[in-house]
A and B are shown apart, each in its own frame.
Chain A
Amino acid sequence: MRARVRLWQAGLLFLLVAGWEVSVRAGWVDAFFFSKPSDIAARVWEWFSTGEIYGHLWITLWETMLAFLIGTVLGVVLGLWLALVPTASAVLDPLIKAMNSIPRMILAPIFTLWFGLGVASKVALGVTLVFFVAFFNTYQGIKEVNPVVLANARMLGASGRQLLRHVYLPSAASWIFSSLRTSIGFAVIGAVVGEYLGSARGLGYLISQAEGVFDTTGVFAGMVVLAVFVVLLDWVVSRVEARLLVWRPTPGQEGGTL
């Protein structure tokens, strides 16, 4: 089953890439607008073999990690607070909803103004995206705590702090983790869009430079590197998730052994 899925995936990818290459070579579509896979591959190879890409990759990774960490910590802490203190959530609810309704891209120029052209403005943009994902998931996770488990922990003698550690946080963990995978994507978006709109380094800068000179090969090559970059990050997070949530039943496993 797994092998067959992999086979189909590989076949589909091959078909797509080969179709693209053939169409360009046969002259059905214009290479100026669409480039072609062989050129793109060559460009990616060139970037890595000359080492030109590493500085850009590193800066984007750094911005992504910072935005991810800061946004997640802020989101989880605030999510916990609002979920556990009903008054706070009642007061802050409209404010948070209003902030979340702002399209974040609009903030990019303002952040550049505030924080300059460097790393800080990109991180700030990423944080505004990541924060809300972490926040809403943590809030929901805490609200969904099983009341029987909670009552049981209280009867066993758990204090407020112990409830947080032994019940609320582990219970919310699966929500928080599923949010982390979305968050990584958003952190990358924040970093790349920030770079795209104004910077001197990073993958977003690379793509925007290529666009500036109508170098479609460069744009597509940048996208490929970006896609692989995000898939790798997502893989790392899902491995961490699988390790930390071993207690969670996989579907069909519920009911257990006798």
Chain B
Amino acid sequence: MDLVAVPGEFVAIVGPTGCGKSTILNIVAGLRPPAEGEVRVLGRPLKGLNRHAGYLFQADSLMPWKTALENVALGPILRGMPPREARERARHWLAKVGLRGFEDRYPHQLSGGMKKRVALAQVLILSPRILLMDEPFGALDVQTRQLMENELLRLWQEDRKTVLFVTHDLEEAIALADRVVVFSAGPASRVIGDFKIALPRPRDVAEIRLTEAFLEIHREIWGLLREEVMRAHAG
């Protein structure tokens, strides 16, 4: 397994279930040590947690005992910013993800899409150099999901962080990414395909799916991925 992301690149990782896509993210995040080999972040070997990375989890990751505002302000406060200033910035970020007026709601009072927006603001407020995303929109319905994908592209466009985006949805991967990396079925999975996505930006994830160029790329990658999916199911 050898994977290099160029700074500012949006890399999507696709593969059949059980191929270790999420494991890769956890290793890059420093949440678990690699079985062998090493992770280099900005040229330096990674020890402990990855301080340059923000992580958007697949499952609900907000603290249910904190309001939306408190959740977003948490990162800066943990890193030593005075609480007043942190809350001010959190207010700004909540507005930025379209949640003005929801500052004092607790997570259980928010819909699935809103929770994802709060989680996104919670991560982005720390302006990480690297953004790790583990099927963040997997649990959302199709409409909300496309909305969130466009939102993500809009925010990413502002400062172009390096993104590792794990998904099992090939269409989502192509619509969002500069590069799609295909993993083979596990165990002992490896990279079996690496595709540049030369679609123009800014993109609209709903519209781009209908273009000829998109379908062309989709056909090409799907040809490769289908076999792996079959193998994952057979095995």
A interface residues (Cβ-Cβ under 8 A, vs B): 148-149, 151-159, 162, 166-167, 170-171, 173, 245-249, 253-258
Q: A149-B61, A166-B63 are in contact. Are A158 and B78 (CB under 8 A)?
A: yes
Interface residue B122 (Cβ < 8 Å from any Cβ of A)? yes
Does B29 belong to the interface (CB within 8 Å)? yes
Query: Closest chain B residue to A249 by CB distance?
Result: B108
The 9 closest A-B pairs by CB, nearest first: A152-B61, A249-B108, A156-B75, A170-B65, A157-B78, A247-B65, A155-B55, A256-B109, A247-B106
Contact among B57, B66, B78, B106 with A148 in the assembled complex (CB-CB below 8 Å): B57
Q: Which of A155, A157, A253 has the most CB of B within 10 A?
A: A155
Are B61 and A247 touching (Cβ within 8 A)?
A: no
Q: How far is the CB of A144 from chain B (nearest CB, A)?
A: 13
Known contacts A166-B78, A256-B109, A256-B110, A151 near B65 by CB under 8 Å: no
Within the complex, the shortest CB–CB distance from B49 to chain A, in Å, comes to 6
17 additional A-B residue pairs with CB within 8 Å, beyond A152-B55, A167-B63: A148-B57, A149-B60, A149-B64, A152-B57, A153-B63, A153-B78, A154-B31, A157-B51, A159-B78, A166-B63, A246-B106, A247-B66, A247-B106, A248-B108, A249-B64, A255-B108, A256-B114
Tell me the B71-126 residues at the A interface (CB within 8 Å): 74-75, 78-79, 105-111, 114, 122-123, 126
- Kindly list chain B residues whose C-beta atoms are within 8 Å of the C-beta of A156: 74-75, 78, 122-123, 126
Residue B53 lies at the interface, judged by CB distance under 8 Å to chain A? yes
Task: Report the separation of the CA atoms of residues A171 and B63 in the bound assembly, to the nearest whole angstrom.
Answer: 9
Q: How far is A94 from B65 in the complex, measured between Cα atoms in Å?
A: 34
- Closest-by-CB residue of A relative to B78 is A157
Given contacts A151-B31, A155-B53, A157-B79, are A255 and B111 in contact (CB under 8 A)?
yes
A151 touches B63 (CB 8 A): no
Given A167-B63, A247-B65, A256-B109, verify A154-B57 contact (CB < 8 Å): no
Which of B49, B62, B65 has the most chain A CB atoms closer than 10 A to its own CB? B65
List residues of chain B with CB under 8 Å of any chain A CB.
Answer: 29, 31, 49, 51, 53-55, 57, 59-67, 74-75, 78-79, 105-111, 114, 122-123, 126
Question: Nearest residue in A to B49 (C-beta to C-beta)?
Answer: A154
CB distance from B70 to the nearest CB of A (A): 9
Q: Chain B's nearest CB lies how many Å from the CB of A5? A: 27
Instruction: List residues of chain A with CB within 8 A of the CB of B51.
Output: 157
Of the candidates A152, A253, A256, the one whose C-beta lies within 8 Å of that of B111 is: A256
Q: How far, in angstroms, from A244 to B172 measured CA to CA in the complex?
A: 42
B122 to chain A, nearest CB (A): 7
Residues of chain B within 8 A (CB-CB) of A166 are: 63, 66, 74, 78
A171 to B62, CA, bound (A): 12
Of the A-B pairs whose beta carbons lie under 8 Å apart in the complex, a sample of 15, sorted by A's number, is A149-B61, A149-B63, A151-B31, A151-B57, A152-B61, A152-B62, A153-B74, A155-B31, A155-B55, A159-B78, A171-B65, A247-B106, A248-B65, A255-B111, A256-B105
A149, A153, A249: which has the most chain B beta carbons within 10 Å? A149
Neighbouring B residues of A152 by C-beta, 8 Å: 55, 57, 61-62, 122
Q: Kindly state the separation between the CA atoms of A162 and B80 in the bound complex, as whole angstroms.
A: 11
